[in-house]
């Protein structure tokens, strides 16, 4: 008959038979080892021990709640999963890539290149699951697109007003 060792109070204990383990009331998270197992593993990973947990693993599902029509609730993170990501990803923020290229070509090469770098980071961060990083990169790309555009519009407006004043004075 196969014998199992378990970890109790941070110490190895055993050997025990499956019947003895059932009487001890081990849980699926109890760490076990046997001669044919390479390393210590949780009991739920040993197929012979799964019958011990049939009654404890049967859980009733939570009550169903109808989803609200407005998404006012904050995004919930599943911290039990292997990657701990949101259950529903938020929409991808805008990249501003076209605007970044236009700023680079027509207004300011330095600000445009910085905007292009941030624009590319938006999709990279988003698809990697870094939604906060994608949002930050989107805001930075927007900033580096808007600042040169506002400066250009301000200078154009000043030039037009100055030309209008000069035209009025010189008649």
What is the model's pTM?
0.46
Residues 6+ apart with CB under 8 A from 152: 107
Domain assignment present for residue 44? The answer is yes
Q: Is the pLDDT of residue 61 over 60?
A: yes
Mean pLDDT comparison of 45-54, 85-94, 133-142, highest-scoring range:
133-142
Burial (CB < 10 A; 0-12, 13-18, 19+), residue 116, is buried
Question: Does residue 135 lie within any of the structural domains?
Answer: yes
Q: Where are the beta strands (DSSP E) in 37-117?
A: 41-42
Domain assignment present for residue 66? The answer is no
Pair (48, 112) in one structural domain: no
* Domain membership flag for residue 88: no
Say which residue, 17 or 56, is predicted with more confidence: 17
Question: How large is the angle between the packed helices 109-127 and 97-106, nearest 10 degrees?
Answer: 170
Range of the domain at 140: 97-170
Answer for the pair 56, 32: CB distance below 8 angstroms, yes or no.
Answer: no
Does 47 share its domain with 104? Answer: no
- Give the C-alpha separation, 139 to 160, whole Å: 31
Q: What is the pLDDT of residues 102-113, one digit of tens each?
A: 999 998 899 999
User: Is there a single domain that holds both residue 103 and residue 39?
Assistant: no
More confident residue, 81 or 115: 115
Highest mean pLDDT among 65-74, 80-89, 90-99: 90-99
State the residue for tokens 């009991």: 43
Q: Residue 57: what pLDDT?
A: 46
Q: Is residue 153, in this structure, part of any structural domain at all?
A: yes
d(CA 157, CA 161): 6
Same domain for 164 and 107 = yes
Residue 162 has pLDDT above 90, yes or no: yes
The answer to whether the beta carbons of residues 117 and 73 sit under 8 Å apart is no
**pLDDT score for 64:** 63
Q: Given this model, what pLDDT does residue 65 score? A: 66
Q: How many folded domains does the chain comprise?
A: 2
Looking at every residue in the chain, the average pLDDT score rounds to 82
Give tens-digit pLDDT for 98-152.
999 999 999 889 999 999 999 999 988 888 888 999 999 999 999 999 999 999 9
């Amino acid at each position: 008959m196969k014998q199992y060792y378990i970890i109790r109070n941070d110490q190895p204990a055993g050997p025990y038979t499956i019947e003895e383990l059932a009487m001890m009331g081990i849980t699926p998270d109890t760490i076990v080892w046997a001669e044919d197992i390479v390393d210590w593993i949780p009991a739920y990973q040993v197929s012979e021990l799964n019958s011990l947990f049939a009654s404890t693993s049967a859980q009733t599902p939570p009550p169903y709640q109808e989803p609200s029509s407005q998404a006012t609730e904050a995004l919930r993170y599943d911290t039990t999963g292997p990657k701990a990501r949101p259950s529903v990803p938020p929409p991808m923020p805008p990249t501003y890539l076209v605007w970044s290229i236009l700023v680079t070509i027509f207004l300011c090469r330095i600000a445009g290149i910085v905007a292009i770098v941030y624009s590319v980071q938006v999709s990279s961060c988003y698809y990697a699951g870094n939604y906060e990083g994608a949002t930050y990169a989107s805001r930075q790309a927007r900033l580096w697109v808007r600042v040169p555009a506002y400066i250009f519009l301000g200078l154009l407006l000043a030039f037009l007003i100055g030309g209008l004043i000069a035209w009025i004075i010189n008649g």
